[in-house]
Structure 1
Amino acid sequence: MTGASTDSPDPTGWFEAARFGLFVHFGLYSLAARHEWVRSRETMSQQAYDRYLNRFDPDLFDAPQLARTARESGMRYAVLTAKHHDGFCLFDSALSDYTSVRATGRDLVREFVDAMRAEGLRVGLYYSLLDWHHPDFTVDEHHPLRGTAAEQEPRNMARYRAYMEGQIRELLTAYGPIDLLFFDFTYPEKGPREWGAGQLLSLVKQLQPGILVNDRLGIPGDYVTPEQYQPDRPLERGGERVMWEACHTLNGSWGYDRDNHDYKDPALLVRMLVQSVACGGNLILNVGPTGRGALDPRARAALGAIGEWTRLHARSVHGAGPSAFEAPANALYTQVGRRLYLHLLAWPLRHLHLPGLAGRVRYAQLLHDGSEIRFQEMDGTRHEHNNLAPPNQPAGTLTLTLPIARPDVLLPVIELELDGQE
């Protein structure tokens, strides 16, 4: 795919073709290194939290290297936290002094956007609807100052809404085409009315007509965003299938969390990617750079392993989607036109039976090395010779003959070339 243009007649087409994205959570909380909600969790005052502002120096934040890593990992778009719940902005804003530009002279959103475009990736920005720094954002259940005298201060959400709209206007007019805007998030104490959701969404679409917006304003958006759980079927709204993106972390934390070692195995992450595609969705996988802005070794290792898999198997996910065929046990299908991809979650002993595919497959091969897989069609009337199938295997079954040794890849994939099937 090419560039970050939003000129396509169908602005959703790139999203469903991409299937795999990078989320980047970076900010002052990265210095605390104990979760991006550290200020709320520890009910820090602004003065206490400012110790991170005074030491913020992202000298190892290398946007071009981050973009190369994303591309080499098989990702086709990337989203950066332009502003998280703490209110600190990684962009140049005329409406706030609480920015990376004032703190360090660096506009990290500009660096990120330019670097991602240079690598041919689509560009997304995250913007938190919460703001624990802004004096007009009312104190609620998540606010660090809950339970303090700040709850009695006069605060004006109308002024805060005007501030949000002003910053969204800055983000969508100062950085060229933005492909995706990820708002976060609606909860019981604050919803569409507090955000001015309809007006805000209208502004976004007016400024960037081709942009995709998620569903976290509390009103329907262009796609839905299940977080930290993996759908196992297509998602629907009102009986209609919707675009969706599963949002996952490497270790349960979005921001850098130094002492959290609960990292997901790369094989699991690849399986989550494939399951998303098989169910008609995307996967966006998060990294939380260190306080100096670099990816830690564990994140680099995970992305490197995923990248090695996608280097060999990209066409089974990019541009792919669900298949009408029903996959056998311990397997997932994705499909692109006449190419059906069989992802084997468990390696069978010698033979694999595929109901309904007899007479439909022209050729089969292991995708990682292009080696042929031989197959035979079962007639279902007898115990086939050479013990290829159990008695009474259903008619229309295609049986693959596999090597005994499982391929040394995170998730083996067989590419089936279908005959006359779209």
Structure 2
Amino acid sequence: MILKKIIVSFLLISNMAAYAQTKSITNETAGQKTARMKWFTDARFGMFIHWGLYALPGRHEWVKQRERLTTEQYEQYFDNFNPDQFDPKKWASEAKAAGMKYAVLTTKHHEGFCLFDSKYTDYKSTNTAAKRDLVKEFVDAFRAEGLKVGFYYSLIDWHHPDFTVDRIHPQRERNKNEWSENEKRDTAYYQNLNKGKDMSRYRKYLKDQLTELLTKYGKIDILWMDFSYPGAQGKGRNDWGSIDLLKTVKKLQPHIIINNRLDLNEYTDGFDFETPEQVKPNELLKYKGKYWETCQTFSGSWGYYRDEHSWKTQRQLLDLLITSVANGGNLILNVGPTARGEFDYRANKALDSLSYWMHANSRSVYHCTYPPDELKLPTEMNTRLTYNPVTGKLYIHLFNYPSDGKLVLPGYKGKVKYAQLLNDASEVQFTTTGFDMELKLPREKPPYEVPVIELNTK
């Protein structure tokens, strides 16, 4: 009898788990989602913009949390926020020149400061020396350049009076192993800090502000919510009211694309794309076959960090972009503008290098994905392959250019009608031996960090 009860309990748990994986919040079909996501999978490349009061200290966007600053200590940045060089038209022009097809702006980050004119808070750009709705200007400028627009909105808010102190809050418990969910917490400490706070009021604030953002600025293409951290002294779906938020968003903008940080992962439609953050290119293979976008910085932080110098090289940036597309995903690269509202010289240098490469080689990025299995190449060749399934074009990205100009493609006999260098459309002659195909490239490497060969496949 005991064994029977155990078996029944196991089957019930298994069935509940299977049911959880098929639960849905909306009635969208797979075909409808594919159509909704098409522009996103065609674009492949976007710009993230992290900008807020944290640009003034210039010491990372989590400076309030890292240095345990109080709201009173942090107020000096609100008082001195005056982005006199802010020109979103220039931002949009630079994004477009770099080959980016969409952009996502932090309308509110964890610090709680709003770049838009919200009627639900005084902690906003219109109450600073800027005296402007910076989100509206961003939307207008990027739309004018033909770019899709997206909003990042933080679920976290270290300024709001009803947002309860938790394990990542600036006023979190001290002398504890931070970020550990398994360690027993000093419950009394948090209860004392959170007297008078009411997360239900904060949930209403979230919903009200999201409603503002999705009704005041026309069509918004992406919503980037950030982030959930369930567990001991953390926050997840129940704290945010995630299901209600998702339904509200879908009602207001049914076409919108939403990331996966609302803590609704077991729902089939709880999110549209996954968001591997700051991962190495070789870690992106595991996302193949899904909708995903890797979010990456030019350097080590998202917000402007004056004294941070670990900036990625052009080769590293191209590796991220090309490897993302080669595994069927997107790359969104972040810029952290200065407190005066400009992209700093290091960001401009990085964008210029991408602009140079994308001008010649963007055809291997847009509308592309991973190739069919019969067009694979050995990994030791150190190439990345992207493929346009509509045109049948295969793109070989040469991370190691052959010094003798000879490139052998194993098993490619009879698979290619024509070959050329993508940057100048100059013919690449080829011969076949056995089952292999040998390309005769120029001995001198084309003037690009990663040259691209375009093959017109049969």
TM-score (norm 2): 0.84
Deviations 1:364-414 (A, max 9, x none): 1111111111111111xxxxxxxxxxxxxxxx2111112222211021000
Deviations 1:35-60 (A, max 9, x none): 00000000001111010000000111
Select 1:235's aligned residue among 264, 273, 287: 287
Select 2:312's aligned residue among 261, 264, 272: 264
User: Are the aligned partners of 2:125 and 2:134 in contact in 1 as well (CA < 8 Å)?
Assistant: yes
CA RMSD across the alignment: 1.5
Deviation of 1:234 after TM superposition, in Å, equals 5.0
Q: 1:74, 1:153 → 2: CA distance?
A: 50
Q: 1:116, 1:72 → 2: CA distance?
A: 12
Q: 1:309 and 2:357 equivalent?
A: yes
Select 1:124's aligned residue among 137, 145, 150: 150
- Ranges in structure 2 where 5+ consecutive residues have no aligned partner: 1-31, 175-188, 265-269
Q: Which amino acid aligns with 1:261?
A: H
1:226 aligns with: 276
1:208 aligns with: 253
Q: What percentage of residue pairs aligned between the two structures are identical?
A: 49
Deviation of 1:154 after TM superposition, in Å, equals 2.2
Q: 1:8 to 1:184 in 2, by over 3 A?
A: closer
User: Are the aligned partners of 2:397 and 2:450 in contact in 1 as well (CA < 8 Å)?
Assistant: yes
- What SS class does the counterpart of residue 39 from structure 1 fall into? helix
TM-score (norm 1): 0.91
Q: Which amino acid aligns with 1:404?
A: R
2:340 aligns with: 292
1:400 aligns with: 439
Q: 1:287, 1:327 → 2: CA distance?
A: 34
1:389 aligns with: none
1:377 aligns with: 432
1:251 aligns with: 299
User: Are the aligned partners of 1:73 and 1:310 in contact in 2 as well (CA < 8 Å)?
Assistant: yes
User: Are the aligned partners of 1:234 and 1:280 in contact in 2 as well (CA < 8 Å)?
Assistant: no
Q: 2:84, 2:133 → 1: CA distance?
A: 13
Select 1:342's aligned residue among 392, 396, 400: 396
Select 1:190's aligned residue among 215, 227, 235: 235
**Paired positions, count:** 393
User: Are the aligned partners of 1:30 and 1:36 in contact in 2 as well (CA < 8 Å)?
Assistant: yes
User: Are the aligned partners of 1:234 and 1:281 in contact in 2 as well (CA < 8 Å)?
Assistant: no
User: Are the aligned partners of 2:164 and 2:194 in contact in 1 as well (CA < 8 Å)?
Assistant: no
- Structure richer in helix, relative to its length: 2
Q: 1:153 and 2:209 equivalent?
A: no
- The 5 Å alignment of 1:1-400 reads 10-103=35-128, 104-147=130-173, 151-188=193-230, 189-219=234-264, 220-229=270-279, 230=281, 231-235=283-287, 241-324=289-372, 325-328=375-378, 329-336=381-388, 337-349=391-403, 350-379=405-434, 396-400=435-439
- What SS class does the counterpart of residue 226 from structure 1 fall into? coil
Q: 2:158, 2:316 → 1: CA distance?
A: 35
Deviation of 1:327 after TM superposition, in Å, equals 2.4
- What SS class does the counterpart of residue 285 from structure 2 fall into? coil
User: Are the aligned partners of 2:258 and 2:271 in contact in 1 as well (CA < 8 Å)?
Assistant: yes
Q: 1:332, 1:58 → 2: CA distance?
A: 41
User: Are the aligned partners of 2:431 and 2:438 in contact in 1 as well (CA < 8 Å)?
Assistant: yes
Deviations 1:79-104 (A, max 9, x none): 00000000000001010000001213
User: Are the aligned partners of 1:362 and 1:417 in contact in 2 as well (CA < 8 Å)?
Assistant: yes
Q: 1:398, 1:330 → 2: CA distance?
A: 17
Q: 1:9 to 1:335 in 2, by over 3 A?
A: closer
Deviation of 1:270 after TM superposition, in Å, equals 1.1
Q: 2:439, 2:239 → 1: CA distance?
A: 58
Q: 1:130, 1:356 → 2: CA distance?
A: 53
Deviations 1:274-295 (A, max 9, x none): 1000000000000000111101
Q: Which amino acid aligns with 2:400?
A: A
Deviations 1:167-206 (A, max 9, x none): 0000000000000000000113111111111111110000
2:185 aligns with: none
